């Protein structure tokens, strides 16, 4: 399991930005699917919840009325490797479909189903009823993590936003850009104390969920030393320009990354939640460049799909990723930050002092 579990708000923000209709949660047993569903919809919603009675069977319950029906029966004498929980077709074809049709008629825009899994696989008429529900409503659907045609088809629907809690961010990497010379600051700002930690530490904290799928690209041996102590991958170089840093970083991760998030290391108030939401957006729209914004102001971080790695590696001298963005504006989408100061960077000692005041106010709320 990832060290940092995505929050309900992180998932909801990315889902809303995606413009998709349905939200699917999947993952192995114990990954937190049902807990997350409850956090997303704290109040009882129209829909269905399945639960197991050990050595008896699986029951499907209507959320609002509590009416239940047995949809799976435990068969201790099932031969060989046969699943001992077998479907009760009549229950699906009568009460199951009836329950779904009642959800369609309910005035709520949203319906929740926890969960859909192995038992539904052999009941085509019930699958068709779920398709009717998906056509009529927004559905938050918990899907069992199992390779079955019906479950795979649900997860691959174009109108579904998929959150896999076993590997929430896929094969996305992050390049933490730490090669600036801090000329306007007068010293290495990334090593300067910001509320008890070096400024660079905030970039490490914000991207913690990516673990070893990070690369700090820096010209500073002191930064490389910090990375080594914290077991964070780094690339130490002595080249002068931004395009050099991007080329080196992209070249180092391009054979193993589906996307790359570029994070400046001087934005201490960008949140983990915003980073996570940006990564979810990228995973669910794999051909899109995603960047953060505040109203009409765009900013960093930015996520590029691997299709743009070659172009990023061939930037003109002194150019950055914005050159690629301008070349492909039709493929860019925006994720709003929750607070305007997440996009603010530090260039001068005055900037740092102002940012400390903002951070103190944010902590006091």
Residue with tokens 């860019």: 332
Same domain, 209 and 151: no
The H helix count followed by the E strand count for the chain is: 13, 17
Find, among 210, 140, 127, 142, the residue nearest to 173 by Cα. Answer: 210
Same domain, 146 and 233: no
Q: Is 34 part of a structural domain of the chain?
A: yes
Same domain, 316 and 249: yes
Q: 160-196, pLDDT tens digit by residue?
A: 999 999 999 999 999 999 999 998 999 999 999 999 9
pLDDT at residue 130 greater than cutoff 90: yes
Q: Which CATH number fits the domain that encloses residue 124?
A: 3.40.50.300
Total number of domains constituting the chain? 2
pTM of this structure? 0.91
Same domain, 12 and 150: yes
Same domain, 130 and 253: no
pLDDT of residue 2: 46
Same domain, 201 and 329: yes
pLDDT at residue 211 greater than cutoff 80: yes
Last residue of a domain, one of 142, 164, 186: 164
The predicted model gives 226-245 an average pLDDT of: 96
Q: What's phi and psi for 72, nearest 5 deg?
A: -140, 140
* Burial 93-102, CB ≥16 within 10 A → b, else e: eebbbebbeb
> Rounded to an integer, what distance in angstroms lies between the CA atom of residue 34 and that of residue 330?
37
Which value, to the nearest 10 degrees, does the dihedral of the CA atoms of residues 237, 242, 245, 251 take? -150
- Would you state the structure tokens that stand for residue 13, as one six-digit string? 């923000």
Domain that holds residue 213: 172-364
Same domain, 144 and 179: no
pLDDT of residue 1: 40
Reported as type and span, the H/E element at residue 310 is: helix 309-313
């Amino acid at each position: 399991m990832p060290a940092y579990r995505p929050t309900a708000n992180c998932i909801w923000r990315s889902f809303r930005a995606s413009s998709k209709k349905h939200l699917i949660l999947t993952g192995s047993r114990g990954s937190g699917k049902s807990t997350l569903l409850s956090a997303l919809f704290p109040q009882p919603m129209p829909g269905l919840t399945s639960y197991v009675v050990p050595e008896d069977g699986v029951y499907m319950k209507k959320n609002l009325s509590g009416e239940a029906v047995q949809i799976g029966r435990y068969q201790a004498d099932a031969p060989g490797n046969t699943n001992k929980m077998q479907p009760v077709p009549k229950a699906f074809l009568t009460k199951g479909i009836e329950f779904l049709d009642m959800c369609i008629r309910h005035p709520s825009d949203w319906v929740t189903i926890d969960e859909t899994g192995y038992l539904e696989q052999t009941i085509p008429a019930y699958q068709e009823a779920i398709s009717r529900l998906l056509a009529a409503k927004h559905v938050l659907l918990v899907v069992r993590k199992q390779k079955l045609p019906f479950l795979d088809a649900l997860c691959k629907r174009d109108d579904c936003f998929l959150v896999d809690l076993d590997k929430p961010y896929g094969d996305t990497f992050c390049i933490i850009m730490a090669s600036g010379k801090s000329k306007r600051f007068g010293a290495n700002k990334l090593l300067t104390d910001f509320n008890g930690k070096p400024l660079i530490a905030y970039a490490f904290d914000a991207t913690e969920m990516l673990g070893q799928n990070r690369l700090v690209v820096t010209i500073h041996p002191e930064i490389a030393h910090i990375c080594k102590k914290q077991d964070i991958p780094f690339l130490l170089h002595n080249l002068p320009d931004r395009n050099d840093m991007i080329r080196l970083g992209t070249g180092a991760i391009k054979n193993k990354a589906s996307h790359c998030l570029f994070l400046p290391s001087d934005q201490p108030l960008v949140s983990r939640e915003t980073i996570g939401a940006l990564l979810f957006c990228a995973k669910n729209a794999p051909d899109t460049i995603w960047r953060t914004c505040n109203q009409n102001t765009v900013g960093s971080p930015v996520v590029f799909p691997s299709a743009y790695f070659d172009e990023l590696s061939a930037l003109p001298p002194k150019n950055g990723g914005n050159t690629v963005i301008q070349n492909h504006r039709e493929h860019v989408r925006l994720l709003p930050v929750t607070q305007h100061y997440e996009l603010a960077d530090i260039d001068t000692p005055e900037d740092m002092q102002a940012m400390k005041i903002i951070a103190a106010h944010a902590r006091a709320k």
